[in-house]
A and B are shown apart, each in its own frame.
Chain A
Amino acid sequence: MIGMAESIGNEFLPNENKVYKADLHIHSCLSPCADLTMVPSTVCTKDIDILAITDHNTAENVAAFVCLCKDKVVIPGIEIHTFEDVHILGYFSTLSDVMEVSKIVSENTNPLPYDPETFGYQLLLNESEDFVGMLDNYLGFPTNLSIDQTIDLIEKHNGLAVFAHADRKFGVIYQLGILPKNAHFVEVRKRETWQELKSTGHIVLTSSDAHIPDEIGSRKIFFQNDAFSGKIDTHSVISAVALGRFRTIWD
């Protein structure tokens, strides 16, 4: 699934004594429910080394963060809202993969009128951090893609699929009662779920799901320098996650 060694954006050589902090679930001002200040100049000043931009059903703002967050590794991401009301995160090494997925997701939504004044503005950023437009298709609704189709879509585009906040609203355990058999990577909110899923051999992440600046890094994962083979870039971070080479806030 993450076969290609391609990568984009910044790369760093691991520092021997450094522990790298990663928050792999952050919304930008494009998500209707996120604060308008979720822009690169705010997000990228936070005390984390690696971050993933994961807006609801779109990746249109990822490029601005990749371009403007100079001293961090920005993982191109998306949070897809499935037909079953389950949120699934996709992490990608390249912009082209995430944008292709974003396009397919958008083709699988039902365009419906919505009032941004009530349900939140969906603001597009350019690479100078200007607001350059609004998406008028509400991103907070489910797509027509099932859980299996979503995982398939992510993996076909060399991505890593992670069930978001599995034990909370719009999480797979909360919505459907149990974790599907094909689930390997799971983000959790509760310590008990973390314990349980670790004992069943799952790779469990703790990320913030930040919608406001203060939430960024409130949950995160930690990588030792030897988690990466060689340089630290989008591809090596995703590989390290896939191999479970990280600590959570509870390890």
Chain B
Amino acid sequence: MLKLSQIIEEVGLKSVYLHNDCEIEHGYVGDLLSIVMRSAKENSIWMTVQSHVNIVAVATLTGIRAIVLCEGMEFPEDTLQKAQEEGINLLVTDENAYRVSGKIYSLNVR
């Protein structure tokens, strides 16, 4: 278990919207919403390249606390707005999901 702020600092993520400095227990990688809905655990940080507003609904549903949009992509306005309403933390990085996940894994978030 690690504070989100620690992960952000250690991995060098950029915050787009920070709702709260929650405890992160697990990590998940995936871009297909159907699989994420099925497999992601509560209190996770989720690495993806999917930025459609539905990712916030998926996060709310599964208990994902933070979404990391990878590869230098940007969150569209409606996704940002929905995340603010729902209290989902949004982060971005230029790196790909593999590299970001590796770094977070090495911080003992498994």
Show the binding face of A for B, using Cβ within 8 Å.
Answer: 33, 83-85, 110, 112-115, 118-119, 138, 140-142, 144, 169-170
List, in ascending order, chain B residues with CB within 8 A of A140's CB: 54, 57
Given contacts A85-B32, A169-B52, A170-B52, contact A114 B37 (CB under 8 A): no
Q: Contact at A142–B61, with CB atoms within 8 Å?
A: no
By secondary structure, the A interface counts as loop
In the complex, what's the smallest C-beta–C-beta distance from A146 to chain B, in angstroms? Answer: 10
Given contacts A114-B57, A118-B85, A118-B86, contact A141 B52 (CB under 8 A): no
Q: Which of B31, B51, B57 contacts A141 (CB 8 A)?
A: B57
Residues in chain A near residue B57, CB distance under 8 A:
114, 119, 138, 140-141
Q: Size range of the interface on B?
A: 10 to 19
Task: Please measure, in the bound complex, the distance between the C-alpha atom of A118 and the C-alpha atom of B54, giving whole angstroms.
Answer: 11
- Evaluate contact between A85 and B82: CB separation under 8 angstroms: no
List B residues 28-80 near A (Cβ within 8 Å): 31-34, 37, 50-54, 57-58, 60-61
B85 engages A141 (CB within 8 Å): no
In the A-B complex, list the 5 residue pairs whose CB atoms are closest, starting with the nearest: A142-B34, A83-B34, A169-B52, A85-B32, A140-B54
Which of chain A's residues have a CB closer than 8 A to the CB of B33? 85, 141-142
Whether B37 pairs with A141 at a CB distance below 8 angstroms is yes
Q: In the bound complex, how far is the Cα of B57 from the Cα of A114, in angstroms?
A: 8
CB atoms of A84 and B54 under 8 A apart? no
- Chain A residues whose C-beta falls within 8 Å of the C-beta of B82 in the assembled complex: 118-119
> Judging by beta carbons under 8 Å apart, are B85 and A85 in contact?
no
Identify the closest chain A residue to B35 (Cβ): A83
Do the beta carbons of A112 and B34 come within 8 Å of each other? Answer: no
Q: List 16 A-B contacts (CB under 8 A).
A: A33-B53, A84-B32, A85-B50, A110-B37, A114-B61, A118-B82, A118-B85, A119-B57, A140-B54, A140-B57, A141-B33, A141-B37, A141-B54, A141-B58, A142-B32, A169-B52
Q: How far is the CA of A64 from the CA of B82 in the complex (A)?
A: 31
B32 to chain A, nearest CB (A): 5
Most buried by A among B54, B82, B86: B54
CA distance A83 to B85 in the complex (A): 27
For A85, list chain B residues within 8 Å (CB).
31-34, 50
**A20 CA to B48 CA, complexed, in Å:** 43
Q: Contact at A112–B54, with CB atoms within 8 Å? A: no
Residues of the A chain whose Cβ atoms lie less than 8 Å from the Cβ of B60: 115, 118
